[in-house]
Chain A
Amino acid sequence: MHHRASAARHTHHTQVLSYPITLPQRLYTLVLGPLVIFTLTYIIVHAYPFIAPPSGEEISFGDIALASFYTCARLAAAYALAVIVAIPLAILATINPTAEEFLLPVFDILESIPILALFPIIIMLFINFDFLNGAAIFILFLSMLWNLVFTLVGGLKIIPKDIYYAAHVFGIRGLDLVRRVILPALVPQLVTGSILAVAQGWNLIIVAEVLHTYIPGGTSAQDLFGVGSILVDASAHAQQGVFVGAVFMMVILIGLLNFFVWQKLLHLAQRFRFE
């Protein structure tokens, strides 16, 4: 069954990411990783002649920083929404064998629908409310959701039965069970799933911010201000400096997020892991 494979795959991710964080790994995250990516980007930008020299209309690094803030805000909103939806969905899908039998195949089907195929419909929906940021956040949310759901389902399946028994014996039931047992027990998988989900969000950010390509008769004025749209715009207008600056900013942001958030959370999650 595909959903079982998905759960196993995510559990595997959890195990892989659960090893203690060593100094070389930290160094790689903070220094070598960003350096390698930046160097490769720099080489690509300079080595290929199809990117023309900079034209006159460049934007400042401050603009890129501000755009990054907007991008991060969209990612954060989508991520928060994905977590809020994924946790109950995962719990619902594993609450009993009947629910699991019905819901997991449904999730599998929903996961398999290409998000980009939905994007034009989502945009047309949100354009009616003049809320294009909503369209971007929704598409990012969808891209994050299933990673989180299947990782959390994997996490719920590895909670030992004795833990549920102990909770029951000591009167922990219903919402108390969710709050005091299930949510803490899911922390390791939530962290792992979040890393995968946010990475998926970064992958889609360019598409999510450059909306005009999905709007019939759309113009670049309908694009959202963000680091993704700056990248596309810089590429289209051959603004080499802006392009490199935007890539650099993304690398820095992802590196900082990894070092200051995910690595710390992975370390913290060790405490919540069942042996």
Chain B
Amino acid sequence: MNPIIEFNNVGKTYPQEKNAAIHEVSFAVNEGEFVCFIGASGSGKTTTLKLIAGLEEPSAGTIKRPEIVAMTFQSGALFPWLTVFENAALGLRQKGIAGEHLAREVDKRLRMVGIFDFREKYPSELSGGQRQRVGIARALAVDPAVLLLDEPFSALDAKTTAELHDDVIKIWRETGKTIVIVSHLIEEAVSLAGRVVLFRDGTIDTIYPIDLPYPRREQAEGFMRETERIRRAFFK
């Protein structure tokens, strides 16, 4: 196993905050792994994700992370004045890629997430699920070593969420990307991840390996057992 992300005793205290957002966080994510961070609000999962993304710098400890990391956001964080295509092309344009190469790369990702037909639309013309798909296409377009998903499904209805779960698993299997997702739903974590990292009070409480075959359905054998195991620790 080749660790692509490594945290060693990492702490983060925001300026003008008395308590640390996270402290003594140590873990590693291997290349090609699908990891889910769960925990209550303020438990430190999103701060940890931001540290992986390079959006924050640690106050203590060391972090090893790859150079190209892409991220999607709960809100979608699409630029309303850009079309779907231009939003997805954002990172590549910034790298100086243009013309046919850009169009080919972006269109490939838009097709992968099933949003190609909407490439000329603006974000305001899309549903919440479609916006998340654009966000994923935008992240995949830069060919990141790690894809970070910050509560991407929390504002979506159950049907759209289930469809997106399947699509994210499909993308993960097709691309072999390392994926780290933040969620507050235990069922979602068990549906998607190979390992579930439970955060509590700013540090890692327990890491649960989930050894179930995909696609994981709630009715499948073992699903409820894994969910209950994590739930008991979550509400401890």
Contacts and interface: CB of A to CB of B under 8 A. Distances in A.
Interface string A174-199: 00100001001101000000000000
A171 B91 CA distance: 7
Interface stretch (A21-29, A161-169, A221-229): A161-169
A165 B94 contact: no
A159 to B, nearest CB: 10
Contact of A163 (B55, B79, B95): B79
The 8 A-B pairs with the shortest beta carbon distances in the complex, nearest first, are A170-B91, A162-B77, A166-B77, A162-B73, A171-B94, A272-B81, A184-B81, A169-B71
B69 A184 contact: no
Contacts of A170: 70, 90-91, 94, 138, 142
B122 interface: yes
Nearest to A269: B81
A273 interface: yes
Interface of B: 50, 53-55, 69-71, 73-77, 79-81, 90-91, 94-95, 122, 124, 138, 142
What is the size category of the interface that chain A forms with chain B?
20 to 34
A162 B90 CA distance: 15
Interface of A: 160, 162-163, 165-166, 168-172, 176, 181, 184-185, 187, 271-275
A166 B80 contact: no
A166 B71 contact: yes
A274 B80 contact: yes
B71 A165 contact: yes
B95 A171 contact: yes
A161 to B, nearest CB: 9
B90 A172 contact: yes
Given A169-B71, A170-B91, A171-B95, A275 B79 contact: no
A169 B70 contact: yes
Given A165-B55, A168-B54, A273 B70 contact: no
Contact of A275 (B90, B124, B142): B124
A172 B138 CA distance: 14
B81 A271 contact: yes
Contacts of B94: 170-172, 176
Contact of A169 (B69, B74, B76, B81): B69
Contacts of A274: 80
A168 B95 contact: no
B77 A165 contact: yes
Contacts of B138: 166, 170
Nearest to B90: A170
Given A176-B94, A272-B80, A160 B55 contact: no
A119 B53 CA distance: 53
Contacts of B81: 184-185, 187, 271-272
Contacts of B69: 169
B79 A184 contact: yes
A273 B80 contact: yes
A169 B139 CA distance: 9
Contacts of B53: 165, 169
B218 to A, nearest CB: 30
Contacts of A169: 53-55, 69-71, 91
Contacts of A187: 81
Contacts of A160: 75, 77
Contacts of A272: 80-81
Nearest to A172: B94
Contacts of B55: 165, 168-169
A55 B142 CA distance: 76
A271 B122 contact: yes
